[in-house]
A and B are shown apart, each in its own frame.
Chain A
């Protein structure tokens, strides 16, 4: 890509850079307060509400939206759908950054970063779901890091190391799918321990299944959404393969998302029948549940189907953004809104502005890291010195 060498340098003080810089400065300041003065100074967490948005958003939403890595690599390397190959590296990068930021955000909630390895060396039993989540996230983050390294190694010119890592592609993909299946579902299973706290419309013995299946939808939608943004902001970094395959990726992933969403919708309705929670549908919570189920599951399912039938990429891309929002709504509902639903409003949780500040800070770090990597490493184009793997 010789033309890249002569690219005109953009000014450093763009509106994006200024806003990102302000967010980072505020985030660093809040980080200082959090780790010197504790949770009470920076959060509205309490004994009733020990999990706030650092878990409900940063962890639950972060892990779900990072599912594009295993979904795309499984489609390409396990199911042999090589026409999605150009989507693998951006999806792996998004997944890797997503999980890395999940672990970073977890530090804010848990505190004492030096205790991060405790689940492996000091713990009361391997039957704990939290142990399973910790083990899988740690292992999967390692897998994603290794899956991401070919791009970094090509950038660094380390051909031998890149060749060795490439040979691990299939094994890593299988590991990724297995580990993701385990911990995506376990995050939902965490709430099985609290049947009296989670509203009956959201509580279900199938919670683990809901989280896993919705993570597939999240992964598919996130790849389309992220690809749309990349096309808009990093169009000049893309080679012809990425540009040519992008529409096919959106159509193929949109079709898969439509069908998986249909299955997810059916599972949710059957879950409703199994817990016999129909009577709650006529309450305020029931209305909000229907907004989630019809507005963020059935509607995108139909919209994806229409987009695929009509080959309307605009509809598919807007639907992907809507579905990503739907995943956020679902995780917020399970983790925050429908949790402790029986408590009086005075005892309910609403995040402190510093909690929101840290979440925005973490997302901004992710965007900045993504931008740095995409502009420096062969993510959206194939490096001319290396074969495709």
Chain B
């Protein structure tokens, strides 16, 4: 009868591996979500854009 012994390293690889996959998915997701959020904006409505007469610099 054989027993599998998990080392701390095994647990760390699993936990960190899942986290890294989630981060990659999140980074791609952010881009997709930002496009979803702003694709119907007109040029003057982008976040950060101001009324032309108010912030000439």
Contact = CB atoms under 8 A, between A and B. Distances in A.
A255 B47 contact: yes
Nearest to B30: A262
Contacts of A368: none
B37 A308 contact: yes
Interface residues of A, number: 23
Contacts of A259: 33-34, 37
A339 B46 CA distance: 42
A308 B11 CA distance: 42
Given A258-B37, A259-B33, A270-B26, 6 more contacts: A81-B50, A82-B51, A83-B50, A259-B34, A269-B26, A309-B37
A351 B40 CA distance: 48
A262 B31 CA distance: 11
A305 B33 contact: yes
B37 A273 contact: no
Interface string A234-276: 0000000000000000011001101100110010011001101
Contacts of B37: 255, 258-259, 305, 308-309
A85 to B, nearest CB: 9
A contacts with B: majority SS: helix
Interface in A148-191: none
Contacts of B23: 270
A81 to B, nearest CB: 6
Interface residues of B, number: 24
Nearest to B18: A273
Nearest to B17: A273
Contacts of B54: 82-83
Interface in A319-378: none
A305 B36 contact: yes
B8 interface: no
B30 A80 contact: no
21 contacts: A80-B50, A81-B48, A81-B50, A82-B55, A83-B54, A251-B45, A258-B33, A259-B33, A262-B29, A262-B33, A263-B30, A266-B29, A266-B30, A270-B22, A273-B19, A273-B22, A276-B15, A305-B33, A305-B37, A309-B36, A309-B40
A83 B30 contact: no
A16 interface: no
A273 B23 CA distance: 10
B44 to A, nearest CB: 10
Nearest to A263: B30
A233 interface: no
Interface string A13-30: 000000000000000000
